[in-house]
Structures are given as C-alpha cells and as structure tokens.
Amino acid sequence: MEDIFHWIREGNTMQVRMWLDDTEHDMNQGDDHQFSPLHWAAKGGHIKIVEILIGRGARVNTTNMGDDTPLHLAAAHGHMEVVQILLRNKADVNFVNEHGNSPLHYACFWGYTEIAEELVEWGATVTVQNKYGETPLDKCSNHIAQIIHGKAAQLGQDMKTKEFKDQSWLGLKTRSRDATLSRHKGININELYLHTKISTTPSGETWRGKWQGNEIAAKILALRECTPRISRDFNEEYPKLRIFSHPNVLPVIGCCNSPPNLVVISQYMPVGSLYHVLHEGTGLVVDTVRALQFSIDIAKGMAFLHSLERQLPRLYLSSKHIMIDCVSDDELVARINMGDSKFSFQEKGKVYHPAWIAPEALVKHPNELNSRAADMWSYAVLLWELATREIPFGDIHPMELGMKIATEGLRLDVSPGISPHMAKLIRICMNEEPGKRPSFDMIIPILEKMKK
C-alpha cells in the first residue's frame, strides 16, 4: 500500500497531491504513533504540503499519541512559515501536550526567539506551567526570557503564573491508521463496543461507541431480512460513501456486513446534527454569522459531491443529515453526513421528511428526476431554517405535509424575519422549474459576499 507518511517525510508534493485526489484516502489518519500527515509535514517544514493538506480539510488541532499538535512540531523544529500558516488556520496556540508543554515551551527551549515572539503575538501565554511547574520562560536563556517577557507585557498579558490543566479530554486524537486504511474491508461486528443509543429512525438505530480507540457512531440498518443480494449490494455501495477528501463531508469510515446486521460506521460528532442544534435546545448559539458560515459549509460540501463522476447512494439533504463538527473551542464546521445516505435496497418509495424535499421529487420516479436540482430545493429549505430558526412546516404531520406540497402547492413563506438578500437567494434556489435553479458552485460566491 502507498505510504503517504513516507512521501510527506521526503517532501514529495506530487505524490501527496495524487494520493489526496483519491476521495477514499483520509488526510486525518494516523501512523502507528498517531502522527497525521499534517504532523509530519509540519515537523519537516514542508510548506506546500502543509498548505495542500489544510486546503483539503486536514484537522489543524489533531493530536498524536503524546498529545502534540502540528503546531508543537513546527515550533519545536524551527519552521516559522509553517507556524504562521497553522496560526492563520486557527491552530490552538495554547494547547498543551501530555507533559503540559505548549508550542511556546518548545520554541523557548530550542532557542527559536522569532517563533516564540510570533506565538506570543498570537496569544501564547508565557506564564502557563507544564506538569513539572515550568513556564516557557523557565525553558530558555535569560536573554530570550527577557525578550519574550517584555513582548507579553507589552501586549497586556496577565503575568500571574497559571497551573497546568489537562486538555487530553477534548478528544482531538488522530484517527488510527487501521480505522481508515482498511480499503473496502469489512469490520468484525465483535470489535465494536456500542454503549449508548443516540436515535431511532425508520432507516435504523444509531449508537455511540468505540472501535480501535476511535469514538464512533454506528448505524444499524433497519431491514426486514438481510438476503444474500442485499448483503452483496451493501458491499458494492458503502465504499462510495468513504469520501475523506473534503472538510465539509463526513465520511463513512467502515462497515460491518454481518447478516442479519448491516452496520455503517462514522466518526462520532458530540455536538450532534444541525437539526439538534437549531431545534432541540443544546445551548449552542447560532447567530447570523454562524448561520451564514454553516450555509457556506453545506454549499461547499454539496458542490464537491456534485462534482464527483461516480453515482452515490441517494442523500436527501436536510438539517437532520448535517453534522456539526467542533474543530476547536470557537470553531464549528457543518459536514454532510454520508452515513445518512439511502442504500438502493432501503425502503424504496418512502419519504419521511417531506418538508425538505423538492415537490417534483415527491411525485416523480427517481430515474426521471434531476437530483441536483432537487438537492438545491432542499438546500433552500435549509437556508430558510437557518434564517428563521424554525422547523419547516413543524405543525403538519409528515404524511399530510407530503400530499399538500405535492398536490396542493403548499410552500414556505419566505418573507418574515429573513433579510432581503437571503430571501432573494432562497427564492432563486426554490424556483418551481428545476432547470432554472442555480448550481452550488454558483451560489457559494453570493454567500461569501454576504459575509463581508
């Protein structure tokens, strides 16, 4: 098997780019010591590879076995440009490893004064202690300590000593190599430890659990019976959902084909779905800025899925199928959950969430449908939901709702409480004629302008 870690260590940008072009390859996988590709690129100072990995969705604050982030390694090895790239991409400047050392501890210890000053400029705390009671200033010469101390004081830092706080509980560990490189190989169901049921839907039960040290969500598909043909179709279809190459797509990382049970395994997202965040009182505030960012995240993920040449199992876009990923303390990312895709053998002709489904999709056979235009209608409902914080047609039973949308022309009221620009975009995306709806590539620049 290709060794992405070897190519990164030798700085082979071309091979890395080719490896990433395969959507099933996971840029957030770890080697035997849970060093991710970004860890190795940061350690080696390979600027171009660092930029490519981050651009493809590498997790900036992922940790290895010793809880080092890529920023720890870049600072410890004197790679100023890499440090700056990581900081610009929201690397946690004060994250501490298993010894309690921050990136600033290492920059000071190895005498990289300019990097230490850069870290302080970005908010690195000079008085935080590691496990052994040492601050970054204790790790460097008196001359450098005076420079760093002066810089921190000039920036108004509180110069009181701060005790070590364990951050390993944040769950930022790199995914194990076994979990992501088992290409098309099924997982033994006995290797799963499932401990908490998250939800029950017509398509199956979703459980929280662990597999090979990874926090997972396992969806046990609801089937009347698992015939040999269904088992075969499952084996053919699930690998298409292993899309690791986009930051706004949450891939399926594995499956269990153990009749009578078929299980789809994804990374566990503690924040939950967008529907959960918007409507079920999580305490997470979704203000206008965050709602707009979620809109952009979803549009980028859908634009990528629509760009793929291969046909995927059908995903009916709704807030229930968008997961919110907590990338850092203050950064949340919306990701399209491929684990919610509908396999060909699952409940043909049944629709459970008609509020998000295009009117033509409720009456036409799937083979007659422009699925990309139908996705755009569903996205328009998502925009309405993010703008109003309301459940679309929340007071109508789904079966009655589907009939009213399909045969009586029932539509969402786009006016109340929605800004004129967003209302106009929703109407454009919700055009009654599927052929006149825009593509996701067309609306991303419009959304980006709304941010400014």
Buried residues in 396-431 as b, exposed as e (16+ CB within 10 A): beeeebbeebbeeebebebeeebeeebbebbebbbe
Token pair 């000593």 in the structure block, residue:
161
Q: How many CB atoms lie within 10 A of CB 205?
A: 16
Q: pLDDT value at position 244?
A: 86
Q: How many CB atoms lie within 10 A of CB 80?
A: 15
Q: Tell me the mean pLDDT per 10 residues along the chain, length 452.
A: 82 92 84 89 96 90 90 95 95 91 93 94 91 89 88 86 67 60 63 89 90 88 88 89 89 88 91 92 83 96 89 89 83 92 80 88 84 95 94 91 90 86 95 95 94 78
Q: pLDDT value at position 48?
A: 96
Q: pLDDT value at position 181?
A: 42
Q: pLDDT value at position 319?
A: 95
| Superfamily classification of domain 179-267 | Phosphorylase Kinase; domain 1 (3.30.200.20)
Q: pLDDT value at position 308?
A: 87
Q: Are 324 and 337 in contact (CB under 8 A)?
A: no
φ, ψ at 243 (rounded to 5°) = -105, 95
> How many alpha carbons fall within 13 Å on the CB side of residue 181?
17
Q: pLDDT value at position 438?
A: 96
Q: pLDDT value at position 15?
A: 93
Q: How many CB atoms lie within 10 A of CB 83?
A: 28
Q: How far apart are CA 104 and CA 116, in angstroms?
A: 6
> How many alpha carbons fall within 13 Å on the CB side of residue 340?
20
Q: Are 262 and 233 in contact (CB under 8 A)?
A: no
Q: Is 332 helix (H, G, I), strand (E, B) or coil?
A: strand
Q: How far apart are CA 193 and CA 399, in angstroms?
A: 36
Q: Are 203 and 224 in contact (CB under 8 A)?
A: no
Of 385, 428, 430, 423, nearest to 409 by C-alpha is 430
What is the pTM (predicted TM-score) of this model? 0.77
DSSP string covering 202-243, please? TTEEEEEEEETTEEEEEEEE--S---HHHHHHHHHHGGGG--
CATH says 274-451 is which class? mainly alpha
Q: How far apart are CA 175 and CA 199, in angstroms?
A: 24
Q: How far apart are CA 242 and CA 254, in angstroms?
A: 8
| Cα–Cα separations (whole angstroms), residue 173 to 28, 331, 377 | 10, 17, 37
Q: pLDDT value at position 175?
A: 65
Q: How far apart are CA 96 and CA 118, in angstroms?
A: 17
Of 131, 80, 81, nearest to 102 by C-alpha is 131
Per-domain residue ranges of the chain: 4-170, 179-267, 274-451
Q: Are 85 and 118 in contact (CB under 8 A)?
A: no
Q: How far apart are CA 286 and CA 389, in angstroms?
A: 9
From the CA atom positions of the chain, what is the Rg in Å? 24
Q: pLDDT value at position 1?
A: 37
CATH architecture of 4-170: Alpha Horseshoe (1.25)
DSSP string covering 120-168, please? HHTT--TTB--TTS--GGGGS-HHHHHHHHHHHHHTT---S-B-----G
